[in-house]
Amino acid sequence: MGEFDLIARYFQRPTSRAVLGIGDDCALLQPATGMQLAISSDMLVEGRHFFADVDPSTLGHKALAVNLSDLAACGAQPLAFTLALALPRADEAWLAAFSRGLFALADEHGCELVGGDTTQGPLNICITVFGEVPHGQALLRSGARAGDDVYVSGTLGDARLALEALRGNITLPPGWMAAARIRLEQPSPRVALGMALRGVASAAIDISDGLIGDLGHILRAAQVGARIDTAIAVDLLAGDVDGRVAQGVFHHEARLACVLAGGDDYELAFTAPVSARAAVEAAALEARTPVTCIGNIESAPGLRLMDAAGQRVSGNFASFDHFA
Ligand code: ADP
Ligand code: MG
């Protein structure tokens, strides 16, 4: 199977939103009047971002999901994407499963594959997504203001637990492991929530490297600080059913470390003025995505983690010695 057969068989599909898809030197997109293009790239490298033996259909899902998550964080609606692929060999079973996982998520979000590049080499997947957002309405990191509430969507930390379990460092109860593994391998980008938060949130980011690290990007961009209530945050771990099992399996500090610094969550962290509380709730309902207020923005720079008694929490949540 040659390069062009491979593209035609596994990746070429008719487009409806793009003016021109795969097959020419460029694809053509026509953003609607009054819309701006939102563009983002993410690369997945074997050994660094996924295990060599990962199910190729979940890999296709995740490669696109991490990109859609960036569009979500800007409040953009997905439009199209390109796929640059380095493959060690043209393995038909692998390609069929990979493209199945990829297109299932693409179809869910009306996002069309419009081009790319294919080459032989160590497995490497680079996707660029294109979305559209009404002029001036993109959610930026720099918009957070002192007094704003700090929110996160969904649950945090379970992807990291699945990773630690796959590495053999911990054991999760079977039901929890199955759910956590889906969080790690097939995250759901919060596209609907990002769009619903246009004009409501003052700033947003997607959580790919852990809450503390990614919230830090908002704080630096907006030149503000934040206070986070760890007694609320610790319960964001999804756990087996509703977090209660998590309390019995891991001690408080381990759960908090997963929530604050787990990574691979692909939830949104965002800020909104207190006056927008009802609008945030309405956005969460519309997007069918729960959100939790975990603290607030302050003018003094830095991130302050507080416990239930209002005392500063110390501890290095970037490290995972907590499972030792
Ligand atoms: P060029 O030589 O102009 O870079 P190619 O021969 O690499 O073009 O690709 C031919 C067509 O197939 C182009 O439209 C390109 O965008 C598309 N394409 C190549 N690889 C992929 C891929 N992995 N997924 C989707 N489209 C691809
Ligand atoms: Mg080329």
CATH superfamily label, 3-134? PurM-like, N-terminal domain (3.30.1330.10)
pLDDT digits over 72-103, tens only?
Answer: 999 999 999 999 999 999 999 999 999 999 99
Q: Where are the domains of the chain?
A: 3-134, 141-306
How many other CB atoms are found less than 10 A from the CB of residue 92?
12
Estimate the crossing angle of helix 56-74 against helix 92-108, to 10 degrees: 30
Measure 39 CA to ligand 2 centroid, in angstroms: 20
Measure 37 CA to ligand 1 centroid, in angstroms: 22
Please tell me if the domain spanning 3-134 has the same topology as the one spanning 141-306.
no
| Rounded Cα–Cα distance for residues 239 and 249 (Å) | 9
Both structure tokens of 7: 């593209």
Q: Is 117 in the pocket of ligand 1 (CB under 6 A)?
A: yes
Please name the residue whose Cα sits nearest to atom 13 of ligand 1.
Answer: 23
Higher pLDDT, 220 or 52: 220
Contact between residue 187 and residue 265 where contact means Cβ atoms under 8 Å apart: yes
Measure 109 CA to ligand 1 centroid, in angstroms: 22
Measure 299 CA to ligand 2 centroid, in angstroms: 49
Contact between residue 186 and residue 62 where contact means Cβ atoms under 8 Å apart: yes
Q: What angle do CA 308, 270, 37 make, to 5 degrees?
A: 170
Rounded mean pLDDT, 63-67: 98
Measure 84 CA to ligand 2 centroid, in angstroms: 9
State residue 132's pLDDT score: 98
Rounded mean pLDDT, 211-218: 96
CA neighbor of 38 nearest in space, from 143, 133, 134, 111? 133
| Rounded Cα–Cα distance for residues 145 and 148 (Å) | 6
Give the number of the atom of ligand 1 that is nearest the alpha carbon of residue 85: 23
State residue 249's pLDDT score: 80
State residue 112's pLDDT score: 98
Q: Is the pLDDT of residue 105 over 90?
A: yes
Rounded mean pLDDT, 122-127: 97
State residue 250's pLDDT score: 87
State residue 241's pLDDT score: 62
How many other CB atoms are found less than 10 A from the CB of residue 39?
13
Provide the pLDDT confidence category of residue 321 given band limits of 50, 70 and 90. very low
Rounded mean pLDDT, 281-300: 98
Q: Is 7 in the pocket of ligand 1 (CB under 6 A)?
A: yes
Rounded mean pLDDT, 223-241: 92
Provide the pLDDT confidence category of residue 319 given band limits of 50, 70 and 90. very low
Q: What percent of the chain has pLDDT over 90?
A: 88
Q: Is the pLDDT of residue 322 over 70?
A: no
Q: Is the pLDDT of residue 246 over 80?
A: no
| Rounded Cα–Cα distance for residues 80 and 38 (Å) | 11
Both structure tokens of 258: 């997963």
Q: Is 81 in the pocket of ligand 1 (CB under 6 A)?
A: no
Strand, helix or coil at 26?
Answer: coil
Q: Is 74 in the pocket of ligand 1 (CB under 6 A)?
A: no
| Rounded Cα–Cα distance for residues 50 and 62 (Å) | 10
CA neighbor of 148 nearest in space, from 323, 32, 296, 312? 296
Within a 13 Å sphere around the CA of 286, how many CA atoms are in the beta-carbon half? 14
Rounded mean pLDDT, 150-178: 94
Within a 13 Å sphere around the CA of 237, how many CA atoms are in the beta-carbon half? 33
State residue 242's pLDDT score: 59
Residue 269 forms beta bridges with which residues?
152, 205
Contact between residue 185 and residue 57 where contact means Cβ atoms under 8 Å apart: no
Provide the pLDDT confidence category of residue 243 given band limits of 50, 70 and 90. low
Q: Is 156 in the pocket of ligand 1 (CB under 6 A)?
A: no
State residue 318's pLDDT score: 58
CATH assignment of 141-306?
A: 3.90.650.10
Q: Is 115 in the pocket of ligand 1 (CB under 6 A)?
A: yes
Radius of gyration of the chain (CA): 20
| Rounded Cα–Cα distance for residues 125 and 46 (Å) | 9
Q: Is 18 in the pocket of ligand 1 (CB under 6 A)?
A: no
Measure 27 CA to ligand 1 centroid, in angstroms: 10
List residues forming the annotated binding site for substrate.
Answer: 49, 264, 320
| Rounded Cα–Cα distance for residues 109 and 194 (Å) | 13
Q: Is 172 in the pocket of ligand 1 (CB under 6 A)?
A: no
Please name the residue whose Cα sits nearest to atom 9 of ligand 1.
Answer: 117
Q: Is the pLDDT of residue 145 over 50?
A: yes
Distance, C-alpha 181 to centroid of its chain: 15
Helix residue ranges per DSSP H, the chain: 3-10, 56-74, 92-108, 158-166, 174-185, 191-196, 211-222, 230-233, 244-249, 252-261, 277-286
| Rounded Cα–Cα distance for residues 140 and 246 (Å) | 34
